[in-house]
């Protein structure tokens, strides 16, 4: 499975050539950090892997720490984005299938970049700036989950007594920690079973009934048939 493309920070640099060069450096950095870890990685190795001069690195980044933090943030965005760029959820996707799709995306994205994610987990233990980057990205992710739970409550399929913010944090952390333990610490699980079980835990926790597996179109059809039968 190939890695998702790394997207440089918005607005830097302006020229297409500069953006391509910056992306090459980020991709090279990912290769070097995965191979050597953060502490043993050298700027010279990153430049060489990118096919650039040592001085070219400093035209785009101030330090090894800066490129690592930007790389880490780009990967956190990739893992915590519900859909790939340009994708949208099908209009008739059921609430349970929306949850299933989100869980599958998170696990597959984490597995795809498990090597570098292990390095990120390690460095965030002692780098306060990196930890702040991860906290910021998590807050964005958690807010998306919260909005998804509110939508499920508005649709009448999730327990309205559940506090969305608390549920988003707890259920999001469950999936994130599961992925870390599986791909980062040598767990042995099967993808389809993992997606199914995490989805069941999500739906049970939110009080979503099994008939919510039907999409909006199917549920509307059932309601119409029931009205006709009365």
Of all residues in the chain, the percent with pLDDT exceeding 90 is 68
What CATH number is associated with residue 104?
1.10.357.10
Q: Please indicate, yes or no, if residue 144 is contained in any of the structural domains.
A: yes
In the chain, the number of structural domains is 1
221: confidence class by pLDDT, cuts 50, 70, 90: very low
pLDDT at position 16: 86
Task: Quote the pLDDT of residue 165.
Answer: 97
Digit-coded pLDDT (tens) for 24-83: 999 999 999 999 999 999 999 999 999 999 889 999 999 999 999 999 999 988 888 765
Any domain includes 229: no
- pLDDT for residue 12: 62
Looking at residue 86, its pLDDT comes to 43
Domain with 180 in it: 74-211
Asked if pLDDT for residue 192 goes beyond 90, the answer is yes
Residue 184 domain flag: yes
What is the 3-state secondary structure of the chain? CCCCCCCCCCCCCCCHHHHHHHHHHHHHHHHHHHHHHHHHCCHHHHHHHHCCCHHHHHHHCCCHHHHHHHHHHHHHHHHHCCCCCCCCCCCCCCHHHHHHHHHHHHHHHHHHCHHHHHHHHHHCCCCHHHHHHHHHHHHHHHHHHHHHHHHHHHCCCCCCCCCHHHHHHHHHHHHHHHHHHHHHCCCCCCHHHHHHHHHHHHHHHCCCCHHHHCCHHHHHHHHHHHHHHC
Summarize pLDDT for 152-178 with one digit per residue, the tens. Answer: 999 999 999 999 999 999 999 999 999
Residue 48 lies in a domain: no
């Amino acid at each position: 499975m190939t890695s998702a493309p790394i997207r440089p920070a918005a607005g830097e640099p302006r020229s297409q050539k500069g953006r391509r060069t910056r992306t090459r450096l980020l991709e090279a950095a990912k290769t070097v950090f995965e191979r050597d870890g953060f502490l043993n990685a050298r700027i010279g190795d990153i430049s060489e892997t990118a096919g650039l001069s040592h001085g070219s690195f400093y035209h785009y980044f101030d330090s090894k720490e800066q490129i690592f933090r930007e790389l880490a943030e780009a990967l956190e965005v990739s893992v915590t984005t519900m859909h790939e760029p340009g994708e949208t959820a099908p209009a008739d996707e059921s609430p349970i299938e929306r949850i299933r799709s989100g869980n599958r995306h998170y696990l597959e994205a984490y597995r795809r970049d498990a090597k570098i994610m292990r390095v990120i987990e390690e460095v965030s233990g002692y780098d306060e700036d990196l930890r702040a980057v991860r906290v910021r990205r998590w807050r964005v992710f958690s807010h998306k989950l919260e909005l998804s739970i509110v939508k499920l409550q508005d649709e009448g399929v999730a327990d309205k007594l559940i506090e969305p913010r608390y549920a988003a944090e707890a259920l999001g952390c469950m999936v994130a920690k599961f992925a870390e333990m599986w791909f980062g610490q040598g767990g042995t699980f099967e993808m389809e079973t993992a997606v199914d079980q995490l989805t069941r835990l999500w739906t049970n926790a939110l009080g979503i009934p099994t008939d919510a597996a039907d999409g909006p179109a199917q549920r509307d059809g059932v309601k119409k048939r029931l009205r006709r039968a009365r």
